[in-house]
C-alpha cells in the first residue's frame, strides 16, 4: 500500500530526505506539484513521525486507494470508497484539490452525490474519516485516512483563513494555523509575551485567545490595538526587555526575522521568564541551500530548555518551520 503526502512544492526533496532518514531507502514517486507517493511505511507511522517533529516538511497524509484516469460513475465511486472502511459511516469528510486552476470543487460534489445516494453525509471537515481526491494533469488520486493520521483538516493541508478588515498583518495566519492544526489550548487569563510584535498581528491573535500580552518591539503597533488595556507595548528590544522585566509568562511567541539559530537562542533567553510547562511558539526562518539542517540546528538549541511538541512547515509558513514547545 502506498501513502500520498503533500508538501510545499519547493520542499519536496527535503520531505523525501526526512522520510528516508526515518524509514530507510523506501521508493518515492512525485505525482503532482505538491504531492508525492511513498511505499513502505504505514500511514500511522508517518503521521507519528510528523506529529513529533521528526518529519517537518510534510503537511498532509492519506492512504492511497486508487489512481484513475477519471472518476467512475456514482455507484462504483461510492463502492470504491466505502469498501475501504471498517464500518459503514454516517458521514465522511471530503477534501478535493487540484494542480490546475480552481479548487477541485467539481470533484468534491461528485463524491458528495455518490455518497449521498448511499445515505452517507458529507462535510468538508471534522469527521473521523477523510476522503482525499487530488487531480494532477496526468491522473486523479483517491485516498482515505483517519483524521487523526491526516495532519490537517484541509485539502492537502492548504488551510484557508478569512482575510477580514480586522487583520493587522498576514503573519496572523501563521499563528492562527498553528493553534488550529496542533489543537493548542492557551491558558485562560494567561500572560503572554510576543517577541518582535510589530505591527501586532500575533498580539491580536493572542488577545483573541484571552491572553494579556506584552508586545515587545521598538516598532509601532497598529492603531487598532491602541487603547486595549490587555496589551502592553514595550518599545524596546527583547534583550533589554528580559533584562528589566520580572513577569513570569505562560506563553511566549516569536516570529522575529532572524535565522534559525538566533531565533532559537532568543527562546533560551525567554525560557528563564516562562513558567514550567509554559507554551512556546517560534518560527524558524531559513530557506537557503539547506533549510532542513538549519531547522535541526535550531531544534537542537531549543532542546536545552524545552520539550519540542511539534515542528512543521505549515501552509502559511513559506520558508519557515513552526515549532511548538513546552518549557521543562
Q: Give the tens place of pLDDT for each residue, 31-41.
A: 998 999 999 99
Per-residue confidence (pLDDT) for residue 101, from 0 to 100: 67
Residue 119 lies in a domain: yes
Considering the chain, what is the average pLDDT of its residues? 94
**With 80 as the cut, is the pLDDT of residue 13 above it?**
yes
For residue 113, CA distances in Å to 81, 145, 268 come to 13, 20, 53
- 3-state SS, one letter per residue, for 257-315: CCEHHHHHHHHHHHHCCEEEEEEEEEEEECCCCCHHHHHHHHHHHHCCCEEEEEEECCC
14/140 same-domain check: yes
Tens-digit pLDDT profile for residues 67-103: 999 999 999 999 999 999 999 999 999 999 998 766 6
Q: Do 32 and 129 sit in the same domain of this protein?
A: yes
Does residue 166 lie within any of the structural domains?
Answer: no
In a domain, 35, yes or no: yes
- What number of CA atoms fall less than 13 Å from residue 229's CA on the CB side? 0
- Assigned C-alpha cell, 254: 516569536
**164 within a domain of the structure (yes/no):** no
In a domain, 165, yes or no: no
What pLDDT does residue 160 have? 85
Please tell me whether residues 230 and 298 are part of one structural domain.
yes
163, part of any domain: no
CB 306 within 8 A of CB 267: yes
What stretch of H or E contains 13? helix 12-23
Cα–Cα distance for residue pair 258/85, rounded to 1 Å: 46
Instruction: Using alpha carbons only, give the angle 210, 166, 8 rounded to the nearest 5 degrees.
Output: 90
Given 157, 182, 210, which residue is the final one in a domain?
A: 157
For residues 142 and 177, membership in a common domain is answered with no
Q: What confidence score (pLDDT) does residue 168 get?
A: 86
In 3-state terms, what secondary structure has residue 65? strand
Buried residues in 31-49 as b, exposed as e (16+ CB within 10 A): bbebbbbbebbebeebbeb
Name the DSSP letter for residue 83.
T
Same domain assignment for residues 203 and 322: yes
**Are residues 104 and 38 part of one domain?**
yes
142 and 90 in one domain? yes
Catalytic residue chosen out of the listed positions 128, 174, 191, 285 = 285
- CATH number for position 265: 3.40.50.150
The number of CA neighbours under 13 Å toward the Cβ of 17 is 10
Condensed to tens digits (0 to 9), the pLDDT of residues 142-179 reads 999 999 999 999 999 998 887 777 788 989 999 999 99
Domain that holds residue 303: 172-327
Same domain assignment for residues 134 and 16? yes
pLDDT at 65 over 70: yes
Specify the number of domains making up the chain. Answer: 2
pTM of the predicted model, to two decimals?
0.93
Q: Is 174 a catalytic residue?
A: no
The whole-number average pLDDT for the span 258-284 is: 96
Contact 124, 154 (CB under 8 A): no
Question: What is the band of 1 on the pLDDT scale with cuts at 50, 70, 90?
Answer: confident
Residue 194 and residue 102 in one domain: no
pLDDT digits (tens, 9 = 90+) for 196-249: 999 999 999 999 999 999 999 999 999 999 999 999 999 999 999 999 999 999
Largest CA distance in the chain: 68
Whether residue 262 is contained in a domain is answered as yes
CATH assignment at residue 7: 3.30.2130.30
Model confidence at 136, in pLDDT bands (50, 70, 90)?
confident
157, 185, 215: which is the final residue of a domain?
157
Domain-terminating residue out of 131, 157, 183: 157
Distances (CA, A) of 185 to 189, 251, 282: 12, 11, 16
> What would the grid cell of residue 17 be?
530526505
C-alpha grid cell for residue 151?
A: 495532519
Residue 287 pLDDT more than 70?
no
Check whether residue 187 and residue 281 sit in a common domain. Answer: yes
Same domain, 73 and 200: no
Whether 39 and 126 share a structural domain: yes
- Domain assignment present for residue 27? The answer is yes
Specify the pLDDT at position 290: 86
Residue 22: per-residue pLDDT: 97
Amino acid at each position: 500500500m502506498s501513502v500520498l503526502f503533500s508538501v510545499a512544492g519547493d520542499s519536496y526533496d527535503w520531505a523525501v530526505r526526512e522520510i528516508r532518514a526515518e524509514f530507510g531507502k523506501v521508493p518515492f514517486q512525485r505525482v503532482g506539484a505538491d504531492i508525492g507517493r511513498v511505499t513502505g511505511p504505514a500511514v500511522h507511522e508517518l503521521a507519528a513521525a510528523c506529529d513529533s517533529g521528526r518529519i517537518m516538511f510534510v503537511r498532509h497524509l492519506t492512504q492511497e486507494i486508487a489512481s484513475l484516469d477519471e472518476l467512475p460513475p456514482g455507484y462504483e465511486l461510492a463502492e470504491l470508497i466505502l469498501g475501504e472502511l471498517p464500518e459503514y459511516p454516517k458521514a465522511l469528510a471530503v477534501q478535493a484539490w487540484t494542480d490546475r486552476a480552481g479548487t477541485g470543487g467539481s470533484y468534491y460534489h461528485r463524491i458528495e452525490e455518490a455518497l449521498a445516494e448511499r445515505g452517507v453525509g458529507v462535510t468538508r471537515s471534522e469527521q473521523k474519516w477523510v476522503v482525499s481526491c487530488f487531480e494532477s494533469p496526468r491522473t486523479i488520486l483517491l485516498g482515505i485516512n483517519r483524521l487523526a493520521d491526516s495532519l490537517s483538516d484541509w485539502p492537502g493541508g492548504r488551510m484557508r483563513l478569512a482575510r477580514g478588515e480586522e487583520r493587522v498583518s498576514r503573519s496572523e495566519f501563521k499563528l492562527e494555523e498553528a493553534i488550529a492544526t496542533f489543537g493548542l489550548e492557551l491558558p485562560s487569563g494567561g500572560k503572554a509575551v510576543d517577541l518582535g510584535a510589530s505591527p501586532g498581528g500575533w498580539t491580536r491573535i493572542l488577545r483573541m485567545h484571552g491572553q494579556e500580552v506584552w508586545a515587545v518591539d521598538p516598532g509601532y503597533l497598529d492603531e487598532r490595538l491602541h487603547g486595549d488595556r490587555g496589551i502592553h507595548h514595550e518599545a524596546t528590544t527583547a534583550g533589554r526587555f528580559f533584562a528589566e522585566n520580572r513577569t513570569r509568562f505562560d506563553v511566549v511567541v516569536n516570529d522575529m526575522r532572524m535565522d534559525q539559530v538566533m531565533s532559537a537562542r532568543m527562546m533560551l533567553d525567554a525560557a528563564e521568564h516562562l513558567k514550567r510547562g509554559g507554551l512556546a511558539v517560534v518560527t524558524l526562518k531559513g530557506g537557503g541551500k539547506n533549510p532542513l539542517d538549519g531547522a535541526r540546528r535550531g531544534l537542537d538549541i531549543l532542546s536545552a530548555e524545552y520539550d519540542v511538541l511539534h515542528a512543521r512547515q505549515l501552509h502559511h509558513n513559506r520558508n519557515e518551520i513552526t515549532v511548538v514547545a513546552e518549557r521543562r
